[in-house]
C-alpha cells in the first residue's frame, strides 16, 4: 500500500513481527528456564549492549507465558517494525503529508487530483471490530485475576518490586473523552493491584488530575503487545490532542483494530497479547519504587495512584513483551529516542525550517542532551532555535541544547561535539536558564524543575563577537578533503590491496551561504 507516495507495510500483531524477526535471523529463542527476578534483565542487558538479537524466553520461572525482549533494540529491528528500509525513512511519510498541506489544491481539478493521496489518511482512524477479538479469547475476572502469574521483571537489585516495563496505558479525558495512550511503568502491588507511575508532564497524568478535580474514578486499560507501530506510538512525543492509535494507523498504512474492553468504558487493541482492565480512585495512593530507570540511576519513586484490576483478557497462547531499562544504551533509546527523532523531524522542520537535523544521543537519556544543526541566516539564530525547542512539547524537559552549523552531522555525536567545542567560547556562547525538567532527573534543584544550558557551537558572525577587534585572527575554515580526490581514492581502493574500502571519513566542505561571505565571516 502507498501512503503519500511512500510504500507502507504493517504487522497485524506482535507475533507476526516476532516471526519475521526470527526468519530474518534477528531473534533467538532461549529454551533454558530463566528467572524474571534479575536473571532475565542481566541476559537482556548484555545482549542489547553488544548488538545481539531479540530474545524469546520460552520457560520463565513462575509463569506459563513466554517473554520477549530486545525486539526494538537495533537500527534494523526498528526499521522492520516501522515498515521501512531505514529508520530515517519513516519521516518521509510525515514529510510528504506536510508537503501536501503546505500546497493546498486550487480549484476542483486540483482537489480531484489530491483525493487519492487524502484517502489513505482519512481511513487511518482506529476501526472497532465486531465479534470476538483475539485478545479476549481468555477472560479472567475478580478473584480469578492473579497478576503475579505474569512474568513481570525485577531488573535491578534495589528495585522495589516487579513491574511492567512495556505497557500501553489507555485512558480517556473525563471532560472530553479524548483518548491518551502512554508508556508508564506499573509496579506489582498485589494479585489485583498495580502502582501507576504517572509523570506529571504526560497525558495520562493530565487525565488523572482531571478525575481528581471531580472526585471521580478513572477507567484504565493496559495493553501488552499488539502491532509494533502501536507500541512505538504509545511512547512517542506526540502533540497534545493527537490520538496515538490514529497516528499509528497513519504510520503503518492500515487502521488499528480496537475492541470494547470487557469491564471498563474504553477501547483496547483487538490483537494485543494481554489487556489489564481496572480503575484508579483519585485518593488511592501507595508508595511506588525505587526503580532503576532509563537514566541509569535509581529513581526513588513516591506516592502514586493504584490501579485496582477488575479483569484480565488475553490470547490463549499469549506472549509477554518487556524491555529492560538502565544505563544507556538500552532498548528504549532505539524505541523512543532514535525512532522518535526520525519520525518527528519533519514536524520540527515545519515549525523551524532552518533545522537541518536533530539527534538525542543515548548518553543523553532522552532529556539531558539535544544536538541540533541549523542553516544559520542571522546573528543569534542558534539561540532562536534553542529557545523554540525548549518551549516545544516534551523537548521542554531537555537540560542541554547544543546548536551547530548545518554541515555538521549531529547523528555523529563525536563530530557534533568537536565542531561545537571548537566554535564555542564558554564565556560568550553558553546561556543558562531555568525551566521544567523530568521527574526522573535526580540532579535538578527541585522536583521536575531546574536548570537549562544552551551552547552556541555555530560559526560566529561579527555581531555575535561584539565587533571584530584589531588583531583578532580570522575565523578558520574546517579541514576537508578535495571531493575529486575522495572520488579518485574510492575508485582505486582495490588497487591499494587494503581490503574493504571503509569509505570517506565524512569531512565535507561547508556550503557557502550568507554567513560564509567575505563580509559576514567574523574576520
Statement to judge: residues 33 and 118 lie in one domain: yes
For residues 77-81, average pLDDT: 92
Higher-confidence residue of 361 and 438: namely: 361
At 513, the pLDDT band (50, 70, 90 cuts) reads very low
Higher-confidence residue of 158 and 242: namely: 158
For residues 353-369, average pLDDT: 87
- Full domain range(s) for residue 384: 331-465
Cα–Cα distance for residue pair 446/436, rounded to 1 Å: 10
Statement to judge: residues 240 and 305 lie in one domain: yes
Cα–Cα distance for residue pair 264/459, rounded to 1 Å: 57
SS3 of residue 357 by DSSP: strand
For residues 448-453, average pLDDT: 90
Indicate whether 223 belongs to any domain: yes
Residue given cell 489489564 in the structure block:
276
Statement to judge: residues 228 and 131 lie in one domain: yes
The rounded percent of the chain whose pLDDT value lies above 70 is: 88
Statement to judge: residues 157 and 128 lie in one domain: yes
Does the structure show a pLDDT above 60 at 6?
no
Indicate whether 14 belongs to any domain: yes
Statement to judge: residues 460 and 487 lie in one domain: no
pLDDT of res. 467:
65
Higher-confidence residue of 407 and 237: namely: 407
pLDDT of res. 465:
82
Indicate whether 474 belongs to any domain: no
Residue given cell 542541554 in the structure block:
400
170 - beta bridge partners? Answer: 181, 221
pLDDT of res. 93:
74
Statement to judge: residues 95 and 202 lie in one domain: yes
Q: At what angle do helices 75-82 and 339-351 cross, to 10 degrees?
A: 70
For residues 239-254, average pLDDT: 86
Indicate whether 284 belongs to any domain: yes
Mean pLDDT of the chain: 86
Phi, psi of 62 (to 5 degrees): 85, 0
Residue 418 Cα to chain centre, angstroms: 26
Indicate whether 472 belongs to any domain: no
CATH number at residue 342: 3.40.1670.10
Higher-confidence residue of 505 and 255: namely: 255
For residues 285-304, average pLDDT: 90
Q: At what angle do helices 244-252 and 228-235 cross, to 10 degrees?
A: 130
The rounded percent of the chain whose pLDDT value lies above 90 is: 57
pLDDT of res. 461:
87
Statement to judge: residues 286 and 224 lie in one domain: yes
Statement to judge: residues 256 and 396 lie in one domain: no
Statement to judge: residues 318 and 336 lie in one domain: no
For residues 155-179, average pLDDT: 94
Statement to judge: residues 161 and 80 lie in one domain: yes
Does the structure show a pLDDT above 90 at 366?
no
Burial class of residue 500, CB neighbours in 10 A (0-12, 13-18, 19+) = exposed
pLDDT of res. 517:
35
pLDDT of res. 523:
30
Statement to judge: residues 204 and 105 lie in one domain: yes
pLDDT 10s digits, 93-142: 777 766 655 555 555 555 445 545 544 554 478 999 987 899 999 999 99
pLDDT of res. 293:
86
Those residues whose C-beta lies under 8 Å from the C-beta of residue 174, and which sit 6 or more positions away, are 207, 210, 211, 214, 216, 218
At 520, the pLDDT band (50, 70, 90 cuts) reads very low
Higher-confidence residue of 158 and 131: namely: 158
At 280, the pLDDT band (50, 70, 90 cuts) reads very high
CATH number at residue 121: 2.30.110.10
Statement to judge: residues 287 and 430 lie in one domain: no
For residues 455-483, average pLDDT: 80
Output the nine-digit C-alpha cell for 235. 511512547
Indicate whether 13 belongs to any domain: yes
Q: Where are the alpha helices (DSSP H) in 363-448?
A: 381-389, 413-422, 426-429
For residues 163-180, average pLDDT: 94
First to last CA, the chain: 54
Nearest to 170 by CA among 213, 231, 128: 231
Domain count along the chain: 3
Least confident of 139-148, 288-297, 452-461: 288-297
For residues 461-465, average pLDDT: 84
Indicate whether 471 belongs to any domain: no
What residues are labeled active site? Answer: 293
At 320, the pLDDT band (50, 70, 90 cuts) reads very high
CA angle 248, 202, 204 (to 5 degrees): 75
Output the nine-digit C-alpha cell for 376. 544559520
182 - beta bridge partners? Answer: 169
Least confident of 121-125, 130-134, 272-276, 503-507: 121-125
Does the structure show a pLDDT above 80 at 175?
yes
Least confident of 18-32, 113-127, 245-259, 340-354: 113-127
Cα–Cα distance for residue pair 365/359, rounded to 1 Å: 12
Of the three residues 260, 291, 322, the one that is the final residue of a domain is 322
Higher-confidence residue of 262 and 236: namely: 262
Residue given cell 478513572 in the structure block:
218
Cα–Cα distance for residue pair 204/288, rounded to 1 Å: 17
pLDDT of res. 440:
79
Amino acid at each position: 500500500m502507498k501512503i503519500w507516495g511512500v510504500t507502507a507495510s504493517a504487522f497485524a500483531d506482535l507475533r507476526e513481527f516476532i516471526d519475521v524477526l526470527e526468519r530474518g535471523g534477528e531473534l533467538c529463542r532461549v529454551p533454558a528456564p530463566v528467572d524474571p527476578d534479575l536473571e532475565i534483565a542481566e541476559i537482556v542487558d548484555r545482549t542489547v549492549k553488544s548488538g545481539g538479537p531479540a530474545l524469546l524466553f520460552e520457560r520463565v520461572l513462575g509463569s506459563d507465558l513466554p517473554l520477549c525482549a530486545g525486539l526494538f533494540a537495533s537500527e534494523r529491528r526498528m526499521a522492520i517494525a516501522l515498515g521501512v528500509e531505514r529508520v530515517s525513512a519513516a519521516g518521509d511519510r510525515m514529510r510528504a503529508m506536510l508537503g501536501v498541506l503546505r500546497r493546498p489544491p486550487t480549484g476542483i481539478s486540483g482537489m480531484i487530483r489530491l483525493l487519492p493521496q487524502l484517502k489513505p489518511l482519512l481511513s487511518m482512524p482506529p476501526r472497532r471490530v465486531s465479534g470476538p477479538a483475539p485478545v479476549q479469547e481468555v477472560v479472567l475476572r475478580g478473584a480469578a485475576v492473579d497478576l503475579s502469574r505474569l512474568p513481570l521483571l525485577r531488573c535491578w537489585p534495589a528495585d522495589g518490586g516487579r513491574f511492567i516495563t512495556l505497557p500501553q496505558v489507555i485512558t480517556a479525558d473525563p471532560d472530553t473523552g479524548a483518548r491518551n495512550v502512554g508508556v508508564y511503568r506499573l509496579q506489582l502491588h498485589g494479585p489485583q493491584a498495580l502502582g501507576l507511575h504517572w509523570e506529571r508532564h504526560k497525558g495520562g497524568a493530565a487525565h488523572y488530575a482531571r478525575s481528581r478535580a471531580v472526585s471521580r474514578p478513572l477507567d484504565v486499560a493496559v495493553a501488552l503487545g499488539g502491532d509494533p507501530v502501536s507500541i512505538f506510538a504509545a511512547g512517542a512525543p506526540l502533540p497534545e490532542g493527537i490520538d496515538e492509535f490514529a497516528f499509528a494507523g497513519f504510520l503503518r498504512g492500515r487502521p488499528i483494530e480496537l475492541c470494547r474492553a470487557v469491564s471498563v468504558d474504553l477501547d483496547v487493541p483487538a490483537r494485543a497479547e494481554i489487556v489489564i482492565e481496572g480503575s484508579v480512585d483519585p485518593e488511592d495512593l501507595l508508595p511506588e519504587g525505587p526503580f532503576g530507570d532509563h537514566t541509569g540511576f535509581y529513581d526513588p519513586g513516591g506516592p502514586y495512584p493504584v490501579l485496582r484490576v477488575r479483569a484480565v483478557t488475553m490470547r490463549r497462547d499469549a506472549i509477554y513483551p518487556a524491555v529492560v531499562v538502565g544505563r544507556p544504551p538500552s532498548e528504549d533509546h532505539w524505541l523512543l529516542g532514535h525512532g522518535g527523532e526520525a519520525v518527528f523531524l519533519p514536524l520540527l522542520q515545519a515549525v523551524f525550517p532552518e533545522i537541518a537535523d536533530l539527534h538525542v544521543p543515548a548518553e543523553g537519556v532522552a532529556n539531558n542532551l539535544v544536538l541540533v544543526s541549523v542553516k544559520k541566516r542571522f546573528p543569534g539564530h542558534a539561540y532562536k532555535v534553542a529557545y523554540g525547542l525548549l518551549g516545544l512539547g516534551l523537548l521542554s524537559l531537555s537540560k542541554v541544547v547544543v546548536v551547530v552549523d548545518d554541515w555538521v552531522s549531529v547523528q555523529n555525536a563525536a563530530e557534533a561535539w568537536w565542531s561545537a567545542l571548537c566554535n564555542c567560547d564558554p564565556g560568550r556562547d553558553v546561556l543558562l536558564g531555568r525551566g521544567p525538567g523530568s521527574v526522573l532527573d535526580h540532579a535538578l534543584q527541585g522536583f521536575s524543575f531546574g536548570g537549562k544550558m544552551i551552547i552556541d557551537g555555530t560559526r560566529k558572525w561579527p555581531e555575535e563577537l561584539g565587533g571584530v577587534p584589531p588583531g583578532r585572527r580570522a575565523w578558520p575554515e574546517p579541514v576537508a578533503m578535495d571531493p575529486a580526490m575522495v572520488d579518485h581514492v574510492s575508485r582505486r581502493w582495490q588497487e591499494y590491496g587494503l581490503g574493504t574500502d571503509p569509505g570517506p571519513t565524512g569531512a565535507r566542505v561547508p556550503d557557502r551561504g550568507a554567513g560564509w561571505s567575505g563580509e559576514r565571516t567574523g574576520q
